[in-house]
Amino acid sequence: MGLGRYIGFRIINAVVVLVLVVFICSLLFNTFAEQEVKAMIDEIIRAMTVGNPQLMQKLRSNQTAYQIWVEEQKKLLYEEFGLNKPYLQRVFERAINQLQFKFGKATMIRSPSGSTDVATIILEALPRTVLLFTTAEVIVIIIGILLGLKAAQKAGSFLDRFIQVVSMVSASLPMWWVGMLMIIVFSYYIPIFPSGGFTSIPPPPPGIPALMDLLYHLALPVITVVLVSFGAWAYVTRSLVLGTLQEDFIMVARAKGIPERKVLYGHTLRAAAPPILTNTLLSLIASMGGAVITESVFNWPGLGRLYWIAIEEFDVPVLLGLTTVFTMLYLAAFVLQDLIYGLLDPRVRIGAGRR
């Protein structure tokens, strides 16, 4: 299978999965979303009567006329909001709107700029999540690969065992617990970092002061994510490199007298690159899965905290919008991973073609 067909096949798979996920979520949430719309319609009708005392007095004097008028207004508003259509058609339309990023209006949540448009709310939160977790994951990957290489190079030594122990401890630490501990220590006992938030109050002037203030608030969440995440990376890198070091071409390179540093970084690391790149992409996206906990602990106004608030407020349009965005991010990462894998290792696309 050629690379073009291989990637095309993967993209089609991703699109099918995305459509299925969005449709199932729309089906599950449709009833709740429509209940909120119906409640909003009731409020509109109530506002129409309260805002027109003469109409209210006229209708109140005749209860039957009042009920008829209310039902007529409901019918008109149901038609306006599409609630008179068949159930499955409403679900399909909701799913299509989600795929077109037409998430609608939030019922409870407002963006920092005051907007109720769900797409705007998500777009304002997305860069903050990307900033936090991309910064943290880049540091995690660098530390993890360096420690994993050292551990594999000195396999069986005290350094190797020490790195393994530290890695296992790091990987087993709960993010929320480490976050709370960091806040207690470095925001209260040793107050060198803020306990949370994205910017100081009042905010600093634009330019260098604003950038320094952002880094000041970013430091503690990034350190927490690094402490919890680098262990798994070091352990996985050690295992991959250790397996590659046993290969025949490494033995030949050493027999030729090639310096050990070149063998390790030029031959071994290059051979182990495909799974390392795969883990890199998946880690960047998977780290956002922990955004709910991390951002809630540090009061960081990103997608994770937005998700948590949407759950608390049961803001269905925001929940559906976030689910669609997260699904798209994950699927895009998988497609990009397959592309890189196919470029680095032709056996992958050949195997896919045989299946």
Q: Which tokens in the block code for residue 250?
A: 């490494």
Examine residue 330 and state whether it is found in any structural domain, yes or no. no
For residues 79 and 155, membership in a common domain is answered with no
Between these two residues, 94 and 343, which has the higher pLDDT value? Answer: 94
For residues 67 and 137, membership in a common domain is answered with no
For residues 139 and 283, membership in a common domain is answered with yes
Q: pLDDT (tens digit, 9 = 90+) per residue, 132-160?
A: 988 998 899 889 888 888 888 888 888 88
For the ranges 64-78, 82-96, 137-151, 201-215, the lowest mean pLDDT is seen at 64-78
Q: pLDDT (tens digit, 9 = 90+) per residue, 257-268?
A: 888 778 777 777
Examine residue 336 and state whether it is found in any structural domain, yes or no. no
The angle at the Cα of 137, spanning 191 to 134, to the nearest 5 degrees, equals 90
d(CA 288, CA 217): 18
- For the segment 115-127, the average pLDDT, to the nearest whole number, is 89
**Which amino acid appears at position 257 of this protein?**
G
Residue 110: left (phi > 0), alpha (psi -120 to 50), or beta? beta
Examine residue 283 and state whether it is found in any structural domain, yes or no. yes
- For the segment 224-251, the average pLDDT, to the nearest whole number, is 84
Report residue 181's pLDDT band, with 50, 70 and 90 as the boundaries.
very high
For residues 154 and 255, membership in a common domain is answered with yes
Give the list of residues 6+ apart from residue 87 with CB closer than 8 angstroms, or none.
Answer: 30
Report residue 243's pLDDT band, with 50, 70 and 90 as the boundaries.
confident
- Distances 75 to 42, 43, 46, 67 between C-alpha atoms, Å: 11, 14, 15, 12
pLDDT score at 287: 67
User: How many Cα atoms sit within 13 Å of 161 on the Cβ side?
Assistant: 3
Highest mean pLDDT range out of 35-39, 272-276, 303-307?
303-307
What end-to-end distance do the CA atoms of the chain give, in Å?
10
Contact 268, 237 (CB under 8 A): no
Q: Which tokens in the block code for residue 172?
A: 């087993």
Q: What stretches of the chain show up as alpha helix (H) in DSSP?
A: 3-50, 53-60, 63-81, 87-99, 118-153, 158-172, 175-183, 208-245, 248-255, 260-262, 269-271, 273-286, 291-297, 303-313, 316-344, 346-354
Domain that includes residue 239, residue range: 118-313
The total number of structural domains that make up the chain: 2
Question: What percent of the chain shows pLDDT beyond 90?
Answer: 13
Mean pLDDT of the chain: 82
CATH assignment of the domain containing 286: 1.10.3720.10
pLDDT at 317 over 60: yes
Between these two residues, 348 and 342, which has the higher pLDDT value? Answer: 342
For residues 290 and 151, membership in a common domain is answered with yes
For residues 280 and 141, membership in a common domain is answered with yes
Give the list of residues 6+ apart from residue 118 with CB closer than 8 angstroms, or none.
Answer: 103, 104, 105, 106, 317, 318, 321
For residues 15 and 66, membership in a common domain is answered with yes
Examine residue 318 and state whether it is found in any structural domain, yes or no. no
Q: Which residue, 277, 292, 313, sits at the end of a domain?
A: 313
For residues 65 and 157, membership in a common domain is answered with no
- For the segment 7-25, the average pLDDT, to the nearest whole number, is 88
Examine residue 338 and state whether it is found in any structural domain, yes or no. no
Query: In this structure, what DSSP letter does residue 154 have?
Result: T
For residues 74 and 158, membership in a common domain is answered with no
For residues 69 and 145, membership in a common domain is answered with no
Among residues 215, 225, 219, the alpha carbon closest in space to that of 144 is found at 225
- For the segment 233-262, the average pLDDT, to the nearest whole number, is 81
For residues 94 and 125, membership in a common domain is answered with no
For residues 230 and 257, membership in a common domain is answered with yes
Q: Which residue, 72, 99, 126, sits at the end of a domain?
A: 99
Examine residue 36 and state whether it is found in any structural domain, yes or no. yes
Strand partners, 105: 117
Examine residue 135 and state whether it is found in any structural domain, yes or no. yes
Q: Which tokens in the block code for residue 243?
A: 């397996």
Between these two residues, 301 and 281, which has the higher pLDDT value? Answer: 301
Q: Which tokens in the block code for residue 284?
A: 């960047």
pLDDT at 351 over 70: no
Instruction: State phi, psi for 254 to the nearest 5 degrees.
Output: -70, -40
Contact 340, 277 (CB under 8 A): yes
